[in-house]
Structures are given as structure tokens and as C-alpha cells.
Amino acid sequence: WPLLGNCHLLLGTQSDEEWQKQRKMLTSCFHFNILKEFSLPVWRHSHVLLEKIRESGSTSVDIIPLAKLLALDIICETAMGINIGTQANSSSEYSSAISRMTD
């Protein structure tokens, strides 16, 4: 599975020394202060999702396409600092590309 790359290294097939080194590197990425900075974008984009669901007026909603757009908005803002607003414009180039990749 080329898409997964070397994920097997994180799943327990490496030596203790390799695991300790990778764990130390990953732990710093998920430090509380770093994650705290992500809470506002996650909240803001989640609120957009909730509004879209409310506006639909339906008791049943296909969450998959909405969750894809939510994830794309959150990832772009938290990783790159860019709000691309795919939830507001689901026909954008970005959301079309994600749909093609995940179909």
C-alpha cells in the first residue's frame, strides 16, 4: 500500500530505540499548546457544518460529503493558515478535487 508509506513503523514493528525517537517527535506535534491553537478553527468550521445541517430542514442528512468539506476546511486552516471555505462553496475547485480523489 504505497499510500500508507512507512506507517508500519508506527504500528509496532520497529525497535524500541526507533519507537522512542518517533514517539518523541510525534509528541511535540501534539503538545497541548499547539492543539489549543486549533480549537477556534475547528469550532468555527464545525459551526458552519451545523448551520448547513439546520438549513437543510431534514431529519436525515448524508454526512459523508459534508464531513469531507469540513475536514478540508479544518486541515487547510490549521495546517496552512488558509480558510478556503469549501463548506460555503461546495462547487469550488478544492472540493471538486477532494470528491474526485475520494470517490
Measure the CA–CA gap between 67 and 74, rounded to whole angstroms. Answer: 10
- Return the ∠ at Cα 7 (arms to 6 and 12), rounded to 5°: 110
The model's pTM is 0.66
Measure the CA–CA gap between 59 and 82, rounded to whole angstroms. Answer: 32
Q: Give the tens place of pLDDT for each residue, 80-96.
A: 898 999 998 878 887 78
Measure the CA–CA gap between 9 and 28, rounded to whole angstroms. Answer: 18
Q: Give the tens place of pLDDT for each residue, 42-53.
A: 999 999 999 999
